Structure 1
Amino acid sequence: MHSLIHKLNISLFKKIISVFLIVTAPIFILGIYIRNWGASTVREELSKSSTAQIEFYLNQLEKEIERLKILQYTCLNDESLNRLAVQYSIMSDYEIVSNLKQLQSRLITIAYSSSYVKNVSAHIFSIHKTISSTRGVDPLDPKAYERTKDAAGLTGAQIIRYEDRLYLTTVYPSDKTGSNSSYVIEIELNQDAFNEDMEQFNIYPDSGSYLIDLTNRKEIAMANTGKILHSDSILEDFATTHQSGTSLRKIDSFRYYSVYARSDYLNMLLLRYLPENLVFTPMRNFTNWIWIFVMVSILVIVIFTLTMNRFINRPIKKLVEVFRQVENGNLQISLNTDDVESKEFAYLYVRFNKMVDSLNMLIDQVYKQKILTQRAELKQLQAQIKPHFLYNSFFIINTMAQTGDDNLIEFTNHLGEYYRYLTRNAADIIPLHEEIEHARTYTSILSMRFTKNLTVEFGFCPEEFEQYPVPRLIIQPLIENAFEHAAEKRMKDRIISVSFEIREERLHITVEDNGTSLSDEELIKLQKTLVLQPDDGEVTALININRRLKLQYDELSGVVLDRSPLGGLGVELILGPRRE
């Protein structure tokens, strides 16, 4: 035994080492995979978040410029503007001043509607005046013609740069050249607002943001926190791009990670750049932490393996050994609590020893008590059946005597045989052929009482089951039940059938009737009662017999209820392998 345990310990040690190697290898592989996956994920997420941020900004800027253009076009139809452009020469001074104030008020409203607006002007060429939201009424700016002509050839937002200023100019629809336009609404954009927008993107050192006008190839706004890239260098790399994206680039000795997006409507490019080391330094730290994780994991696995072997595996092996001996019938075994260091296993060892002692002391008593209990239940169930037929028999004899029935003597002979069967042998278990003969005697009594209105079809038991041991009184009560609850309620053509059939090495005894009083609801109620088998109250014959069969045979044996092909109730007794 000692050498066997020694071999088991060596085998267990090899298994622990093998598991250790198997577990360690995936950790290394997982560490490398996590590192590469993490680097890829960081780059992807950085690209997605940064690109989404600048695309969102450009999208919002496009919407804002589009809104300002709508206000421009709407203002072209202003009633005061049209009067000043067309009726100025015939208007009174009061009308001129009133319309000028109304027009300026509308221009001020447009100017205050957006932080991107610096000034809104209405150039009225027919009267050579310019009405401004900030300066009021001035002589016509002669350069307005030039700016208007420049905007006429543009598409999209029609933003023009003139003398380092940005203008949003709309041309009167009747003349694309601007030379004969009566008036123009012009919005000067606030470049300081664009610079403030660029500042919000710069949250890292040595980073920067550029908003570049691709029409004039100049920056509109820029913001830096350190290293400055020249716009010419940026334009060389990004001016021809037509989509958003990210890239890693180098200018001189400076390597940077760029995120860019382009707006075709505004014809602008928005670029953010970050130093390369700022982006990838966290990945290097992440790699170091991965290796630390691998080393710590290996150390934890080693410590855990040794601890598990000492405090859990060895005590469990000992428990398994003694349980196998108990399974083999050895109840003279005990465990030494001094062999374990864990209080939990010491408690299990003590409880195991007490369990074995209790088994040795109680197994005979419990087993014998169970047998005595089953016999007592069988006696009690049979005692409930024996008086039942006697009550009915007295009533039948009384009726036959009163009517002077010639079958009275034969009836009493059958009745004597019936009760001799009940009293001559006190055995609980009898051969099946004796139980069948007893049931035939009972049906003979019924046939003598109802000679004209009762037909009993009694089949023959298969020869191989004639000596099969069965509990007493399991067939006759079912015939009696069929007669009392079904056939007796019919005035004529009463049929009771008893048949035998072997299916899957089990004997099926079926008692059927042609009663008409059994409803589907009553059948379902009987089936439920048979399954539940209540312990309180009066125990019916069906429940009585079902319990006896399940005590005597296996769990598949017993009573099954269903609708009979004859129309009444069909009761099937199933006899399976007998319990020891």
Structure 2
Amino acid sequence: MVKYKIFQNLIVLLVVLLVPTMLLFSYSNRSSNKVVQNTLESSASKQLEYTMDSLEKSLRQIETQSLLLLNDSSIKSYSTSLQFPEYVDHLLLRKTIEDKLTVHNEVNNMIYNLTLYFPTLHESISSKKLVTLSEEQLIEAPKNKWFQHIQDDRFSFRLIFTNPTFPSEDFNNVTSAVETSVSLEYMKSVLQTMDLSGNGTSFFYFEGMPLISNHQNDYNFLPMLKSAKMLERQETQGSGPLRNSMKIDGVSYLIQTIYSPSLQGTLISYVKLSDFLSPLQKMNRLVNVSLFLLFLTGLTFVYFIYRHFRMPFSYLVKKLEQLGSGNVNSRAVLKVNNEFDFLFDRFNEMASRIKALIENVYEERVRAREAEYKHLQSQINPHFLYNSLFYIVSMAHKSPDAVISMAKNLSHFYRYITRKVGFEVTLADEIQLVESYLEVQSLRNKHLSYEIHIPAPMLELPVPTLLLQPVIENAIVHGLERKRFSGKILINGVSIDKQYILTVDDDGAGMSPLELEELKRCVYNPPSSSESSANEMSCGLLNIHQRLVNRYGNKSGVAFSNNDWGGLKVTLTISEEKTVKTNERIIGG
């Protein structure tokens, strides 16, 4: 009976330990649920208040900026500039105002559009080429406060200040007015920022207007929110967020609302309580069962766990830490004659593969950096810069507009190639770079004309930087400049069977069959580093071809052929899984 007595004493001891532990854990479970819910409510409330406070401060900043703009001296002068004989001064002043509007618009990303109205001149100036309000709409619109406006199926928030501040009913005493608009996309970005914080889902409610939301199921909350009087201004203005727990379709939600005095709307945030509490409850039940089993089996296996698990496991963890710290030569040499021997073997194999992969990745990065460096060097042609600067000097007194155009496009060109080399950009960015380059070349060469036909969906295609510009430069330097009276470049884009195809045609000197074969050999079968037979043209095309093959696979790359104009056609193929539509955008030069 002695041996059973020891066992019974052990059982009694485990029960004595288990019962208080379970009671304590049950109390801890209820306390944890309460703490988690209170923490969730506090976090969501602070996030809601912070978002609304930031939004209100941004709106105040916009109001101050609009008032300063309205009282700007150049804007005040513009309303009376037509009274003076120099109409050129009037146009120059308008250009100055347009530049100011553009600067104000770009400084504050919250502003979608800025528009100045001059009722006495029947003119308006906008930072973007958008449809402005008519004089009747301007007179009827609310003044000195934010209001919702829908125009051309586009919803926005607008603010109008006038000079003087209190206009007459017929607007006869108004010399100027400024209209500031905040787009629906910005409001959705505010909601998206809140959603990413992890404290629930949010949307904006404005009475009589559609919801501003990034989700479809937000309309389900409106009836219950209205019945609970959580959308009324009197209860939310000047205090913290309103908070309430509701059940919708059997699901419990924590809902909070806060009112925006400026926009006269309500920001609403909701979160499923089950998403936060259910995992905790499941874990608590699992721990309860684990505690019971642990007390029954724990003492029996303490020695075996320590001898056959803890020691080998500690050894393996030590080796993993060595591997994680960068010691790729770490290997497990301990033999325990159990399953851990298999893990040690697999660890050794994994360490060897990691070492090989690290070496391969390092070599690939070195090669990629060298290729990008060589590519950058090949793009920055000093003669192109020198010729452009000489053109600016020679035209400084003849045509200031040509100088401005040359300087603007030249700065955009060099800003792009010096900042974005090595990054992935969209095809639209590459097209803008090509346009700047062609504009610079067309100013120097009056015979040069170009057309760009790219389907609109293709403009969002991610591509490597400096994909098209080297091809265009080759067409001009090695094609157009070698043939008198040539100067036509055509860029086309099309998507066929999960492939994107870009073609560049010119009417330059073209290439003979032997020259074409030599170019293909240099691009498709490049010589070794010891052989430097590749010329400048093939070097740039080789770089583009290799980047396309490495990035998109063997079905991608560069192809060459003579076209019907007698010039050269360069075809760039990009293989992708997704397809695009063919809404075409045409750009003429």
Task: Give the shorter-chain TM-score range.
Answer: 0.3 to 0.5
Larger CA Rg, structure 1 vs 2: 1
**TM, length-normalised to structure 2:** 0.43
Q: Which has the higher contact order (CA 8 A, sep 6+)?
A: 2
